[in-house]
């Protein structure tokens, strides 16, 4: 088993920023008083100098180059319009390219129009990053939202796709800070476990390669090691990183078992969020790195996993759907499914949706 290409693929499944952090060092926690705003320039809306008691605030971190951020903007605007005077949203531009000027940001906001129908500001020399974004040890990237409740306390932080039920509960007086804090701690513990699993498996496979075992032995020992880990940590079962390792080893050992394993994940009604991209990445790895032709059923599995990944995506507008459907079509052809390949190619030829 070639260690380096596998690790390269794996970093697409887990945030590099999460791997580099120590979640125990978080300094900003739910129920803490919200930090002040550090704004260099207000681009849209009247400046907000302090939090008004009784009002809820969303502080949204975004950038002009960030497609998921752009995809979230109409949803944020609709959330603001629904709640009018009860809610203020402040979009703070961060992580911009060094050549991006305030005029560029102003032009971007102007072009967005009512799709960005809330306050917009520019970070003051990374002070918002230092005092907000980096202090939760949850900075998986942008977009990222912070919610401040009616008492100016930090009530929640996370991806904007999860905002609406949070805002609804806070405005209805049904949000419990203690429960929200407990949930975030559980998320932190799970991230730590993911990182521990990833580090452990990478080191284990590296050691197996150093012993110059043959590929079959390495793959079987890898599966045995994963099984030990799953017995001790069942919450990791059917999550992206273990799924990647299992598929990788099974596909090397026995493609039929790899198909059965992957198909059981895609067809399961119990797995809410299916690690479909892990399956796609493994098949890509074998096809590209090993330069090998896979059995038709593996390509069929890959095409179905690709479609599942698209279906599960919160913001499909940011995906390169023509490229994805072209890949799906190619895999259906290799699976001898000509009609499905034709249908996928028709979707590939549709014009790409504009995210602006």
What would the DSSP string read from start to end of 79-122? HHHHHGGGEEEEEEE-S--TT--HHHHHHHHHHHGGGG-SEEEE
Vertex 316, ends 310 and 321: CA angle to 5°?
A: 65
How high is the pLDDT of residue 25? 54
Sequence-distant (6+) residues with CB within 8 A of 161 are 72, 75, 314, 315
Q: 31-175, which class in CATH?
A: alpha beta
Contact 209, 1 (CB under 8 A): yes
Ramachandran sector of residue 48 (left: φ over 0; alpha: ψ -120 to 50; beta: rest):
beta
How high is the pLDDT of residue 112? 97
Judge if pTM exceeds 0.85: no
Average pLDDT by consecutive 10-residue portion of the chain (356 residues)?
50 43 66 96 96 97 94 95 95 96 97 97 96 81 95 95 95 95 90 92 93 94 97 95 96 96 96 94 88 88 96 79 93 96 88 48
How high is the pLDDT of residue 24? 47
H helices present in 123-275, as ranges: 127-131, 163-171, 177-210, 215-232, 240-253, 255-267
Contact 51, 177 (CB under 8 A): no
Residue 291: CB atoms within 10 Å: 7
Sequence-distant (6+) residues with CB within 8 A of 154 are 28, 29, 30, 31, 32, 33, 34, 146, 147, 148
Rounded to the nearest 5°, which phi and psi values hold at 137? 55, 35
Q: Is 75 helix (H, G, I), strand (E, B) or coil?
A: helix
How high is the pLDDT of residue 275? 95
* Count of residues in the chain: 356
Tokens linked to 19: 């791997």
Neighbouring C-alpha atoms within 13 Å toward the C-beta of 102: 12
How high is the pLDDT of residue 20? 39
DSSP secondary structure letter of residue 33: B
Enumerate the domain spans of the chain: 3-12+184-348, 31-175
Q: 3-12+184-348, which class in CATH?
A: mainly alpha
Residue 347: CB atoms within 10 Å: 16
């Amino acid at each position: 088993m070639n260690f380096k290409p596998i690790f390269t693929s794996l970093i697409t499944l887990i945030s590099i920023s999460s791997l580099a952090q120590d979640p125990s060092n978080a300094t900003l926690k739910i129920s803490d008083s919200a930090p002040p705003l550090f704004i260099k320039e207000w681009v849209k809306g009247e400046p907000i100098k302090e939090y008004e008691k009784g009002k809820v605030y969303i502080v949204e971190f975004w950038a002009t180059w960030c497609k998921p951020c752009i995809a979230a903007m109409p949803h944020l605007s609709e959330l603001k319009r629904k709640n009018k005077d009860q809610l203020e949203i402040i979009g703070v531009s961060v992580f911009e390219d060094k050549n991006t000027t305030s005029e560029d940001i102003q032009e971007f906001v102007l072009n967005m129009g009512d799709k960005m129908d809330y306050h917009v500001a520019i970070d003051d020399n990374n002070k918002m990053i230092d005092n907000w974004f980096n202090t939760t040890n949850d900075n998986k990237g942008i977009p990222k939202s912070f919610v401040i409740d009616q008492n100016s306390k930090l009530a929640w932080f996370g991806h904007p796709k999860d905002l609406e039920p949070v805002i609804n509960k806070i405005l209805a007086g049904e949000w419990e800070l203690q429960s929200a804090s407990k949930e975030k701690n559980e998320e932190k513990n799970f991230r730590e476990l993911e990182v521990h699993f990833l580090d452990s498996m990478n080191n284990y496979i590296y050691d197996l390669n150093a012993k110059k075992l043959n590929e079959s032995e390495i793959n079987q020992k890898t599966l045995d090691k994963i099984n030990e880990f799953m017995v001790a940590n069942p919450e990791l079962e059917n999550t992206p990183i273990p799924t990647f390792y299992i598929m990788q080893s099974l596909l090397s050992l026995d493609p039929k078992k790899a198909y059965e394993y992957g198909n059981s994940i895609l067809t399961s009604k119990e797995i809410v969020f299916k690690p479909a991209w892990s399956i796609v990445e493994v098949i890509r790895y074998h096809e590209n790195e090993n330069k090998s032709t896979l059995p038709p059923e593996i390509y069929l599995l890959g095409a179905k996993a690709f479609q599942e990944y698209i279906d599960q995506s919160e913001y499909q507008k940011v995906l390169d759907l023509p490229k994805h459907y072209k890949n799906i079509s190619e895999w259906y052809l290799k699976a001898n499914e000509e009609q499905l390949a034709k249908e996928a190619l028709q979707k590939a030829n549709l014009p790409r949706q504009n995210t602006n």
